[in-house]
Amino acid sequence: MSAKPFLIDEYVRWSDVDMAGIIFYGAYVRFFEIAETEMFRSAGIPYASVFDRFDVWLPRAHMDCDFEYPARLDDNLRVAAYFTKFGRTSIGVQFDVAIPEKGVLAATGHEVLVCTDRKTLKPKPIPEELKKILQQFACTETVARAGLGLKGGA
């Protein structure tokens, strides 16, 4: 695997926090979605192009998130998005969210995309050309977290 996660920086905004000023758990989904969308764009294949070019959808079959450290209003978050697995019909995507100024991991997320036929929504093999394009952002957790500036992988 290549050693290159996709990175974005985004601030925790007022709409992302609860009454205690700590990021609301659901806000992480927005950060994941931004990172994922921009990762595809950076790979040279924006989502709209994926769907039309390969005549597939990539719905999420699974998503989870672990919370490690409470991000707060105006914290600058650095999100690493990267592919961890290319199965026959599915793609594993990992998200690691760090607060660089504090040197901590705030949250981790994982999702599974399933390649489906656009008409029937039945799983179908991931097009080889699509896998090849996305491989540039395939890496290990250790490499991704080093890219976030986190020592020791956490």
pLDDT of residue 135: 95
- Total-model pTM: 0.93
pLDDT at 154 over 80: no
In angstroms, rounded to a whole number, what is the distance separating the alpha carbons of residues 79 and 115? 24
Q: Which two tokens stand for residue 15?
A: 């709409």
Q: Is the dihedral of CA 93, 87, 119, 130 positive or negative?
A: positive
Residue 134 has pLDDT above 50, yes or no: yes
Q: Please tell me the predicted confidence (pLDDT) of residue 1.
A: 46
pLDDT of residue 131: 96
Specify the DSSP class assigned to residue 126: P
Between helix 47-54 and helix 27-42 the angle, nearest 10°, is: 60
- CATH superfamily, domain 6-153, is Hotdog Thioesterase (3.10.129.10)
Percentage of residues of the chain with pLDDT beyond 70 = 96
For the stretch 66-91, what's the b/e string if a residue is b when 16 or more beta carbons lie within 10 angstroms of its beta carbon?
ebeeebeeebebbbbbbbbebeebbb
